Amino acid sequence: MADLDNTDRTLLRLLQQDGTLALAELAEAVNLTTTPCWKRLKRLEENGILRQRVALLDPVKLGVSFTAFVQIKTSNHSKEWYHCFVATVSDFPEVMEFYRMAGEYDYMMKVQVADMAAFDKFYKKLVNSIEGLTNVTSTFAMEPLKYTTALPV
């Protein structure tokens, strides 16, 4: 774990809540002047702790509130196949998260689309884009109960 003090942790918590906070607001919140606050933020960025600042969008208002979790088994575990698979799946804009797993399934992804018809289109594109998939199982979220991008710091 990175060597963070309470001021660093507070800055990270504030930015996770609102990435648009001005430097002056952040500095005031942690009882610093702007220059040392800026230096801390710069160090957090350079160390890769603060990776990027983004806007979180509302999937319902954008018409992509259908969430599917796709689990995949494969018979091919070669390095070449893996790189091809990762590159192919990474190009799908519907895939929000993508993981290599331990356990029964080899891979899992979170997919965000408009509805079941859009998911079916995605599914067909996925299974026809890569060879070696032996089992593709999907489950569908009925209601989001908790969603956060904030890490516990």
What digits encode the pLDDT tens for the residues 91-136?
999 999 999 999 999 999 999 999 999 999 999 999 999 999 999 9
The model carries a pTM of: 0.89
Distance from chain centroid for Cα 134: 26
Domain membership flag for residue 64: yes
112 domain-assigned: yes
Helix (H) or strand (E) holding 7: helix 6-17
In a domain, 75, yes or no: yes
Contact 66, 113 (CB under 8 A): yes
**Number of structural domains in the chain:** 2
77 and 13 fall within a common domain:
no
CATH number of the domain encompassing residue 88: 3.30.70.920
Please compute the mean of the pLDDT values over residues 4-33 and round it to a whole number.
96
Q: Which range marks the domain in which residue 96 is found?
A: 59-141
CB 49 within 8 Å of CB 9: no
Query: Are residues 42 and 68 located together in one domain of the fold?
Result: no
In a shared domain, residues 21 and 94: no
Whether residue 1 has pLDDT greater than 60 = no
